Amino acid sequence: MFLWLKAFHIIFMVSWFAGIFYLPRLFVHHAMSNDVATRERLTVMEGKLFRFVTPFAWLTVLLGFAMVATNFDFYKTQYWLHTKIALV
Per-residue DSSP letter, 77? T
pLDDT at residue 75, rounded to an integer? 85
The pLDDT tens digits of the residues spanning 11-38 come to: 999 999 999 999 999 999 999 999 999 9
Angstrom distance (rounded) from CA 48 to CA 16: 13
Nearest one of 25, 19, 26 to 56, comparing CA atoms: 19
DSSP 3-state of 67: helix
Task: Identify residue 74 by its one-letter amino acid code.
Answer: F
Burial letters for 34-50: b for 16+ Cβ neighbours within 10 Å, e otherwise?
Answer: eeeeeeeebeeebeebe
Is 80 exceeded by the pLDDT of residue 87?
Answer: yes
Angstrom distance (rounded) from CA 24 to CA 66: 30
Residue 37 main-chain phi, psi, to 5 deg: -65, -40
Is 70 exceeded by the pLDDT of residue 1?
Answer: no
The pLDDT tens digits of the residues spanning 35-76 come to: 999 999 999 999 999 999 999 999 999 999 999 899 888 888
pLDDT at residue 79, rounded to an integer? 87
